[in-house]
């Protein structure tokens, strides 16, 4: 997968791209991530990228020219998903991450402080995403969130550190409780069933705990009417 990130603050990405899973994914060449400062594409004397809003009002608006020029400088941009990060976008979730992981090329567009000229939305961008109902100072943190959750799904990225299949949300449920050694910590014991070696019983216990946790914390994720007989029996227990 190729990812291009258009931002006025490329240095914000150093930590995230240079550490842990995202670093390794790049080293393994599962993903190629490229930072583009779209200020470099401004043709004005002072490298201006924003201007006052037509009609008046507070704040500045990002001009279309540098952003169009930056995107058009990217090879094969016509085939890419061009994603604008904005609180006005569709709320990002695991289903969208699964959809984006199938793409060969993503371009992220990060605004900062200000809004985008509407023509960028209308004639350049293919998707608008929000990471939640709150306002950040810019799209950079939101891009990092979306990119991280997409890249970890790419084949060969996680190795043994995590299983994508049992992640919260990928099963439609929150993840079940996990334990590791010691068997007794202070006076708190690991549930007996997990030490039993009885794989089928352990699977059942985990599925039941997942349901219990999801019903308690995120009942909105469960549609009781869509459950099969086995799961319906599980949550009645
Ligand atoms: N830019 C500012 N706030 C944002 C949010 N909540 N999601 C995505 N991009 C943003």
Report the b/e string of 193-219 with b at 16+ CB within 10 A: ebeeeeeeebeebbbbbbbbbbeeeee
116 lines ligand 1 (CB under 6 A): no
Candidates 142, 143, 145, 149: which one to mutate for ligand 1, based on the most atoms within 8 Å of Cβ?
142
- Closest ligand 1 atom to residue 111 Cα is 1
What spacing in Å lies between the alpha carbon of 129 and ligand 1's midpoint? 8
**pLDDT score, position 166:** 75
Q: pLDDT below 50 — which residues of the chain?
A: none
Q: Which position among 87, 98, 128, 213 bears the catalytic label?
A: 87
The yes-or-no answer on residue 114 being catalytic is: yes
The CA distance from 232 to 21, in Å, is: 37
What spacing in Å lies between the alpha carbon of 113 and ligand 1's midpoint? 10
Q: Mention every residue, 6+ apart, whose C-beta is less than 8 A from residue 105.
A: 1, 2, 3, 4, 76, 77, 79, 80, 81
3-state secondary structure of 149: helix
The yes-or-no answer on residue 152 being catalytic is: yes
**pLDDT score, position 164:** 82
Q: Mention every residue, 6+ apart, whose C-beta is less than 8 A from residue 178.
A: none
Full set of structural domains in the chain with CATH: 2-151 (3.40.1280.10), 184-236 (1.10.1270.20)
The yes-or-no answer on residue 50 being catalytic is: no
Radius of gyration, alpha carbons of the chain: 22
133 lines ligand 1 (CB under 6 A): no
**pLDDT score, position 120:** 98
**pLDDT score, position 161:** 58
């Amino acid at each position: 997968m190729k990812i291009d990130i258009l931002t006025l603050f490329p240095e914000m990405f150093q930590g995230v791209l240079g550490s842990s899973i995202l670093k390794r994914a790049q080293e393994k060449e599962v993903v190629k991530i490229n930072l583009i400062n779209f200020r470099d594409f401004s043709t004005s004397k002072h490298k201006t990228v924003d201007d006052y809003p037509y009609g008046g009002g507070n704040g500045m608006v990002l001009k279309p020219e540098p952003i169009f020029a930056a995107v058009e400088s990217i090879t094969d941009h016509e085939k890419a998903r061009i994603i604008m990060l904005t609180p006005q976008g569709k709320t990002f979730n695991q289903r969208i991450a699964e959809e984006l992981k199938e793409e060969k090329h993503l371009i992220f567009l990060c605004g900062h402080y200000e809004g985008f000229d509407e023509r960028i939305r209308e004639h350049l961008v293919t998707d608008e995403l929000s990471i939640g109902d709150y306002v950040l100072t810019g799209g950079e943190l939101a891009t990092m969130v979306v990119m991280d959750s997409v890249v970890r799904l790419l084949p060969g990225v996680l190795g043994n550190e995590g299983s994508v299949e049992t992640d919260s949300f990928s099963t439609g449920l929150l993840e079940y409780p996990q334990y590791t050694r010691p068997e007794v910590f202070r006076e708190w014991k690991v549930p007996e069933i997990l030490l039993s070696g009885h794989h089928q019983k352990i699977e059942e216990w985990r599925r039941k705990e997942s349901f219990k946790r999801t019903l308690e914390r995120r009942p909105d994720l469960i549609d009781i009417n869509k459950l099969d007989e086995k799961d319906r029996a599980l949550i009645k227990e």
